[in-house]
Amino acid sequence: MNYRHIYHAGNFADVLKHAVLARLVRYMQNKDKAFRVLDTHAGIGLYDLSSEEAQKTGEWRDGIGRLLEAELVPQVAGLLEPFLTAVRELNPEGGLRFYPGSPKLARMLFRPQDRLSAMELHAEDFQRLHRLFEGDHHARITELDGWLALGAHLPPKEKRGIVLVDPPFEEDGEYERLVDGLAKAWRRFPGGTYCLWYPLKKEAPIKAFHEALQALEIPKMLCAELAVKSDRGFTGLTGSGLIIVNPPFTLKDELHALLPALKEMLAQDRFASQRAFWLRGEH
C-alpha cells in the first residue's frame, strides 16, 4: 500500500502505456456501438506535476516533458495525437502542470455512449478518484482490489471493452498474478481487448512471464516493450512492456512506427531499445 503513482506520473512508462491506450480507444470508436474501459488499478486519475511528490523525482521531465517538446514526423504525430491533445487540454495556458492517469485519459477520449469502470483499493486515492468523477454518469468508481474486478466486473454489459491491468508491482509474484488474472478474465470475456502493463528491470523474470502467457493458448497476444537505458549496475525501472490481447489489426504496424520514435525521444543512454512482436498469433 506504499506505492503512490504521483512519484512516477508522466514518466517514460506512462508515455508508452497511455499512447497505446489512446490508440485502443480510438480503434474501438471505429464502430458506433458503445464500449467500456475497465481500469483495474486506476490511481487518483489526475496528477499535479507541480506537487512536492512529483517534483521530488521529476520523472515526468524525461517522459511526457520530452515528448511535448519533440519535433514529430507526421506519422508519429498522427499516432500520438489523441494522447497529446488530451494532455494539452489539461494545460490550456501552456506548459505542463497536469497529467492524466489512465481513467482520466480514457474519459477525455470518450463519445457520449462510451463508459468507464475504475477500481482503486487505496482508501485515500479512491476518495480523490471518486471526487474527480463525481456526477459523471459515464464513470463508475469502485473501491475494490483490481484483481477481483477481473472476475466480478466481466463481461461488461456493452459486450465490448478494453481491460487495462496496471498493477504497482510492489509485491513478489505480480508477474504470475498477471498471468492468472488474464486467464480468469479471458474465460469470462474472451472477446475483450486486454492491455497488461509490466516493468522491465534487472533480473525481472520476463522470459518465464512470456512463456506462461503463451501457455494460456489465447489466440492473439501482441507484446510491446521500450527500455530507455541499460540495467547494468542499476536495479530500478529501466523500461516497461505491454501485452495486448485481441489487439486491433492495425496496432502492430503502428507500434513499428511509434516505438523507434519513442526510443529516440526518451532514451537515457545508448543502450535504449524497443521491440514489438507476436507472443501468440499472427507473425
The SS3 call for residue 179 is helix
Rounded to whole angstroms, what are the CA distances from 142 to 72, 123, 131, 136, 151? Answer: 38, 11, 12, 14, 14
Q: List, in order, residues 6 or more apart from 166 with CB less than 8 Å away.
A: 17, 39, 40, 41, 102, 196, 197
The SS3 call for residue 83 is helix
Query: Binding site: what residues are annotated?
Result: 18, 41, 102, 120, 145-146, 166
What is the distance between the alpha carbons of residues 276 and 58, in angstroms, rounded to a whole number?
28
Which secondary structure element, helix H or strand E, spans residue 229, and what is its range?
none
- Options 166, 172, 180, 231, the catalytic residue: 166
What is the distance between the alpha carbons of residues 131 and 135, in angstroms, rounded to a whole number?
9
Which secondary structure element, helix H or strand E, spans residue 279, and what is its range?
strand 273-280
Active site residue 166: yes
Catalytic residue numbers read 166
